Chains A and B, each alone.
Chain A
Amino acid sequence: MEDEVHSMAVPGQIPWDIPTMTRRATDAREAEFAQLFDEFSAPIHNYVLRMVGDPDRAADITQDTFIKAYRKLDTVTEASSTRSWLYRIATNTAIDDMRRRRMVTPMGDDAPAFANRPDPRPGPEAQVMGATLDERVQRALMKLRPNHRQCLLLSDLDDMGAQQIGDVMGLSYAAVRTLLCRARGEMRRALSAEGFAR
């Protein structure tokens, strides 16, 4: 095989053999992935953490997201769609995780389970006064339906427009606008319960 490659070499050009070309392709792929990871690991992790509300699960989901991304790296055709593509993988991985947990936890949907679970901590007023703004916002987020939470996070945390949110969630532009409006209404009530005015 190597002989064939060398015989095809054109004078003046580097006669690369197959192993060298393969190694270079692998190096390029790894460099591309490292760049992707460098740019997106922080926002993806933050998004997933806000989605599931648990640091260990967020770490696992982020890790799974990037393993899947590496395996599917060849399917990205346009650099402009990379962000949506990664967030779509992260969203689906987070949804799978939530579904798996729902199957093993006989408490129904994620949000009601969180909302109805007996809370051993001090009463609501003491909690509101004692919790940081961040904790209160996270508690409010966890009360939302998962698709409302995703939509709101993509919009207000990751600053995506309706078109890009649609790409991530597999929804039309119009459907995203309706969903986002409902999510804001639900979040308004949840924030109000956490002591935020209005």
Chain B
Amino acid sequence: MTMNRHESFEELISASLSEELTETERQRLDAHLASCAQCTSTLAAFSDQRRIMAGVRHVGPRGISALGFARASSVVGLQRCPGGGDRPRSSQVSAEAWRRWPAHCSRWCCSTARRMNHS
């Protein structure tokens, strides 16, 4: 499959957004954009798209439900999960418990991995 003229420049436009063009590629693209309305429009659309993507909400581990850990802990037969207590539901896990989650998770994963290695 061969690229048409615009497609080869679209690849340069895409790479230009993350500043990954060589000097030669940059000059080639700039020269083309000066006379191509279609590729100028593509550059504007791809730039908008990157801005839109950068603006989406970041959902951190608070979004990870304790349910997921509870499910896993039931699979490996653990009695406790990282939120503390016996298999709590997401709503039962306090913000403080989530702040301590890495340490909990570390211990939980260690014991889980040991169990898996021995089984």
Contacts and interface: CB of A to CB of B under 8 A. Distances in A.
Nearest to B64: A59
A62 B67 CA distance: 13
Contacts, number: 130
Interface of A: 26, 29-31, 33-34, 37-38, 41-43, 45-46, 49-50, 55-56, 58-60, 62-63, 66-67, 70-71, 133-134, 137-138, 152-153, 155-157, 159, 161-162, 177-178, 180-181, 184-185, 187-188, 191, 196-198
Interface in B60-93: 60-61, 63-65, 67-69, 71-72
24 contacts: A33-B109, A41-B61, A41-B102, A45-B63, A59-B67, A60-B68, A63-B68, A66-B105, A66-B109, A71-B117, A133-B56, A134-B56, A156-B49, A157-B53, A162-B18, A181-B11, A185-B10, A187-B49, A188-B49, A191-B52, A196-B48, A196-B52, A197-B48, A198-B41
Contacts of B117: 71
A85 B63 CA distance: 23
B14 to A, nearest CB: 4
Contacts of B64: 41, 45, 58-59, 62-63
A55 B54 contact: no
B103 interface: yes
Given A56-B67, A185-B10, A198 B72 contact: no
Nearest to B51: A156
A71 B49 CA distance: 38
Interface of B: 7, 10-11, 13-15, 18, 20, 41, 44-46, 48-50, 52-61, 63-65, 67-69, 71-72, 101-103, 105-107, 109-110, 112-113, 116-117
